[in-house]
């Protein structure tokens, strides 16, 4: 990034920080840091660990079988939610996760947002400050139009959770606190001796990140 202008980063970071501050003073607001990642069944993460005999523990990258129909990696959406309930006046944090049957797309992004807003409405949250990067399935016309229509419907009916998008500067993953969750999660699910099945990957991810398993998001899924 040395060759790039950094003028946009402080401004967007200040916006993010100001919105975090506003959320802390509005118990019916929440801030969500969204991102997507891939959980590989074969690629091993870089990590340090103790081995029983005191020798270095070496993770061997498994080789995919030509007869294995299971995907080599599983994609998922995540929302790191932070909110400050009036009862406690202290920040609470939880991670919501949905695996994807295909790969991240605009149509699946809107499904994930719809699912999150449903959960937030049940929590009594009127506003979601949505912090995410500039992935093409975040800034697409379809997603932009869906958010606008969703917010109009909330304002018209007085029910639901409005979305206020706070985009992150380009190439600034350190501003999204969900990123370390992915790194540590991939280390925690690593299996040095064999290839994990897709179900085992999901189960380990949910256990490592303390998330409840849910149905996969899919393009064919109908959203109300």
pLDDT at 197 over 70: yes
CA nearest 185: which of 39, 56, 58?
39
Task: Please state at what angle helix 141-157 crosses helix 106-122, rounded to 10 degrees.
Answer: 30
* Section 161-180 average pLDDT: 90
* Section 105-126 average pLDDT: 96
pTM confidence score:
0.81
CA distance 52 to 188: 17
Q: What is the pLDDT of residue 193?
A: 79
What distances in angstroms separate CA 21 from CA 26, 42, 164, one per listed residue?
9, 41, 15
Q: 9-33 b/e with 16+ CB inside 10 Å = b?
A: beebeeebeebbeebbeebbbbbbb
pLDDT at 94 over 80: yes
- For the stretch 3-8, contacts whose Cβ atoms lie closer than 8 Å and that sit 24 or more positions apart, written own/partner, are 4/171, 8/169, 8/170
Tell me the two tokens of residue 65: 């079988």
Helix, strand, coil % in the chain, rounded to nearest 5: 35, 20, 45
Q: Domains in the chain, ordered, with CATH?
A: 8-44+71-160+178-209 (3.30.420)
What confidence tens digit (pLDDT) does each residue in 36-84 have?
999 998 877 665 555 566 666 665 666 666 666 678 899 999 999 998 7
* Section 85-108 average pLDDT: 87
Q: What is the pLDDT of residue 1?
A: 46
Residue 22: pLDDT band with limits 50, 70, 90: low
Residue 26: pLDDT band with limits 50, 70, 90: confident
Q: Residues of the chain with pLDDT > 70: what percent?
A: 74
Q: Quickly list DSSP for 110-169.
A: HHHHHHHHHHHHHTT--EEEEEE---HHHHSHHHHHHHHHHHHHHHHHS-S-EEEEEEPP
Q: Pairing mode, if any, of strands 29-40 and 127-132? A: parallel
Q: What residues contact residue 145 under an 8 Å CB cut-off, 6+ apart?
A: none
Tell me the two tokens of residue 87: 């009862």
Q: What is the pLDDT of residue 62?
A: 63
CA distance 176 to 194: 32
Residue 90: pLDDT band with limits 50, 70, 90: confident
Q: What is the pLDDT of residue 223?
A: 45
pLDDT at 196 over 70: yes
What confidence tens digit (pLDDT) does each residue in 201-212 have?
999 999 999 999
């Amino acid at each position: 990034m040395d060759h790039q202008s950094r003028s946009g980063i402080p401004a967007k970071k200040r916006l993010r920080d100001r919105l975090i501050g506003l959320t802390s003073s509005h118990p019916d607001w929440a801030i969500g840091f969204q991102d997507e990642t891939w959980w590989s069944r074969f690629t091993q993460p870089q990590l340090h660990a103790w081995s029983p005999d005191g020798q270095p523990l070496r993770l061997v990258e498994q080789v995919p079988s030509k007869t294995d129909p299971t995907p080599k990696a599983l994609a998922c959406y995540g929302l790191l939610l932070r909110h400050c309930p009036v009862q406690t006046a202290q920040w609470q944090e939880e991670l919501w996760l949905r695996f994807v049957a295909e790969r991240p797309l605009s149509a699946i992004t809107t499904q994930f947002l719809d699912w999150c807003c449903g959960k937030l409405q049940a929590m009594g949250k009127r506003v979601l400050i949505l912090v995410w990067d500039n992935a093409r399935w975040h800034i697409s016309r379809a997603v932009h139009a869906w958010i606008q229509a969703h917010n109009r419907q909330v304002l018209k009916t007085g029910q639901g959770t409005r979305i206020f998008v706070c985009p992150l500067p380009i190439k600034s993953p350190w501003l999204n606190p969900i990123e370390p969750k992915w790194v540590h999660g991939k280390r925690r699910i690593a299996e040095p001796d064999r290839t994990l099945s897709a179900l085992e990957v999901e189960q380990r991810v949910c256990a490592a990140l303390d998330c409840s398993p849910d149905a996969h998001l899919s393009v064919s899924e109908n959203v109300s």
